[in-house]
Amino acid sequence: MSKIVITGGAGFIGSHIAESLAKDGHEIVIVDNLDPYYSVALKKRNTNIVLNSGNATFINADVTDLDKIKDVIDSTVDYVFHEAAQAGVRISVEDPFKPNDVNVLGTLNVLKASLDSGVKKVINASSSSVYGKVKYLPFDEQHPTEPVSPYGVSKLAAEHYCRVFYEVYGLPTTSLRYFTVYGPRMRPDLAISIFTRKMLANEPITVFGDGKQTRDFTYIDDVVEANKRLINNKLTDGKILNIGDGNRISVNDLIENLRSITGSTSEIIYAGKQKGDTEDTLANIDLGNKLIGYKPLFDIHKGLNKFVDWFKNEGDVLEFNK
């Protein structure tokens, strides 16, 4: 078994990866600064789930602090799953400096510490936001990258640093471009979480734009499985892989699916389109299938049903709104 550091391990995706790897018997070190971008109570709950899943420890540290990250990523560490980031496309439009600090400088710090310590591989969480302007669909990994938000720019810069650290310094890295991940414990500011909460309360739902924009939604269990398949996989060294469902659905159809599941009577209110939002996303996942046998098991209907069931049982509304 391996010793694995997971930055951003108190967050949505990071905590799921950490939990699964801990259950597999690996030694897990969660690194997170518990940034109050959203509920710290949620992050602490995520952390406790991981700590109760196996041999896991938590370290409160910020990836922008190189000295602290060097202390954590030492010669005893085998793998690093770099999930820490300042997320949020719309937030990045309002403040482009923070995503640059966390997502670019933070990634550089993680890579430098990993290189100096002889880490076997760094798995970097990237985003479909790097594609930006649509030239064709589905996006394959060779699609031009023209981000339309500072967040997308920061994730693309992080990808390039990962590539350079592999090509120049010989540090094995793989970047995974996630396509709109959802599922239990997801961030409360994401559309599926907001829609579900409001639908269960029969409250009005605000949609930015006309609702015809489409997204490739990816269930969290498929993302976790993709990450785990990178351990001891040399074929992916220096590579970038799309991790999506390979299908897309409009926001309007997403709402109707949720309405069918919840029986909600929520009114839909259409508002102006938000700056930085991509019109459409759709992943070509052929490369992931070829290199790691990636094949998503949860389509949007199965995933939404599982999420709504979880939300009814564990999605504490007050906690989500803190």
Query: In this structure, what is the dihedral angle of CA atoms 223, 228, 231, 234, given to the nearest 10 degrees?
Result: -40
What distances in angstroms separate CA 222 from CA 30, 118, 128, 144, 193, one per listed residue? 21, 29, 16, 25, 18
pLDDT of residue 265: 97
- Residue at 74 is within a domain: yes
Residues of the chain with pLDDT under 70: 316-322
- Residue at 158 is within a domain: yes
The distance of Cα 102 from the centroid of its chain, to the nearest Å, equals: 15
pLDDT of residue 321: 46
The distance of Cα 37 from the centroid of its chain, to the nearest Å, equals: 15
Q: What's the total number of domains in the chain?
A: 1
- Residue at 191 is within a domain: no
Please name the residue that has the structure tokens 């640093």. Answer: 161
Range of the domain at 145: 3-179+219-244+282-297
**140: domain CATH number?**
3.40.50.720
Across the strands, what pairs with 271? 208
- Residue at 272 is within a domain: no
- Residue at 129 is within a domain: yes
pLDDT of residue 158: 98
pTM over 0.85: yes
Query: In this structure, what is the dihedral angle of CA atoms 300, 242, 30, 313, given to the nearest 10 degrees?
Result: 0
- Residue at 196 is within a domain: no
Active site residues: 151
